[in-house]
Amino acid sequence: MSTNRSNDSIDKKRRRLKAVLAILSLCFLFTAGFTCYEYLAGKQQALSQQNHAPIKPDINLEDDDKEAAYPFHGEPDPSGALSLLLLGTDQRSTETARTDTIMILRYHPEKQSLKLASIMRDTYVKIPGHGSNKINAAYALGGPELLRKTIAQNFDIPLEHYATVDFNGFSHIADTIAPDGLEVTIENDLNYQSEGGDTVIDLNKGIQRLDGEELLAYTRFRSDSEGDFGRVERQQEVLTLLKEQLLSIESLWKVPRLLGSIQPYVDTDAGSGMYMEAAKDYFLHPPEKLETIRIPTKDNVWNERKPYPIGLVLNHEENKTREDLKKFLYDQEE
């Protein structure tokens, strides 16, 4: 009798285990299917809204003055963090892309550290094999790889991957993360119209809820006394707001669609698997805040005019700039 009871108990445990495994399998299949569907849906939606040529560097030099190919030879971060060269490009109609935004994004999941360093595009640096020039000239001369080399030589910062984001895609990505817009406090009226009328910015002072296109205009405006300095501050402000929105509970299910939405607007050396893994780490180890810095810092920068065709640059004391950037990125992790 006791043997039968024992067998019945074992059978019940097996049935429960099978039931649990079946439920877990269904959950896994549902999650995988949902993730795949949302990723592809986001990608398809982004592709249907694209109306421009693929991203490419702004090459305006003679063929024998530019590097023929741009294979990216990224270097892993010594502490295992994800180090990303993040570039923002502007492409109008059939023109080639220009990089107006240069950032270093460094994310360390285990230390819950998320840092963003914006490098002013007119910063005067040494470009390997091309003398001294504004840092954004490195992209025009040799794409992301030459820009990576330039940052490594001048600032001693290794970068593992790069991502070039089209400005047109930024508004779509922002709308995906924050479909109801983001609340922004605009300090002054921002009004600008380009000579050809292609770009119009008209934002009023005060607390405003901005959609993707308006956020793009907000981050691109530089026609005031602050110039590029103010633009970099607004870019960092908006990225901080997007980071906070992304960590909200209702945004969790948007991640696969977001990754799909990003892909058509991003040129990168990293595969989608790397971004999926980074997204998983981001939600498992969410950073408390996005720390930012602008390079060169305010106490170490001055305007200086260089001979044609370089023109007006932001000059700085190189050793201090290197120390400022390395201290910001690494010191709190030692």
Q: What are 159-169's pLDDT values in tens digits?
A: 999 988 877 77
CA 40 to chain centre: 21
Q: What is each CA distance from 88 to 44, 55, 74, 120, in whole angstroms?
A: 22, 10, 19, 12
User: Which pLDDT score, from 0 to 100, does residue 323 have?
Assistant: 97
Q: Provide the residue type at 136 as one letter.
A: N
Residue length of the chain: 334
Over the stretch 66-99, which tens digit does the pLDDT of each residue have? 444 468 999 988 888 989 999 988 655 445 456 8
DSSP 122: T
Give the chain's mean pLDDT.
79
Give the residues across from 185 on adjacent strands.
207
- Longest CA–CA span in the chain (Å) reads 100
Residues 6+ apart with CB under 8 A from 328: 115, 117, 291, 293
Quote the crossing angle between the two packed helices 227-246 and 212-220, to the nearest 10°. Answer: 150
The answer to whether the beta carbons of residues 272 and 260 sit under 8 Å apart is no
Please state, in angstroms and rounded to a whole number, the distance separating the CA atoms of residues 302 and 18: 70
List CB contacts of 86: < 8 A, sequence separation 6 or more: 101, 102, 103, 104, 105, 162, 163, 165
Sequence-ordered alpha helix ranges (H) in the chain? 2-49, 136-155, 167-177, 212-220, 227-246, 255-262, 272-284, 318-330
Residue 111 has phi, psi (to 5 degrees) of: -95, 0
Model confidence, pTM: 0.78
φ, ψ of residue 91 to 5 degrees: the values are: -130, 120
Cβ-based neighbours of 77, under 8 Å, separated by 6 or more? 83, 106, 158, 160
pLDDT for the residue 58:
44
Higher pLDDT, 283 or 192: 192
Tell me the C-alpha distance between 188 and 306, whole Å. 32
Instruction: Give 247's pLDDT tier (boundaries 50, 70, 90).
Output: confident
The fraction of the chain above a pLDDT of 90, given in percent, is 43
Contact in structure between 41 and 260 (CB atoms under 8 Å): yes
Q: Identify which of 161, 185, 165 has the alpha carbon closest to the alpha carbon of residue 173.
A: 165
CATH class of 63-333: alpha beta
Lowest mean pLDDT among 1-5, 109-113, 165-169, 244-248: 1-5
Look at 81 and 39; give whichever has higher pLDDT.
Answer: 81
The CA-atom distances, in angstroms, between 10 and each of 1, 14, 16, 23 are 14, 6, 10, 20
Task: Tell me the Cα Rg of the chain.
Answer: 24
Cα separation of 59 and 72, whole Å? 17
Contact by Cβ (8 Å): 190, 203? yes
Looking at the DSSP bridge assignments, the partners of residue 103 are: 86, 118
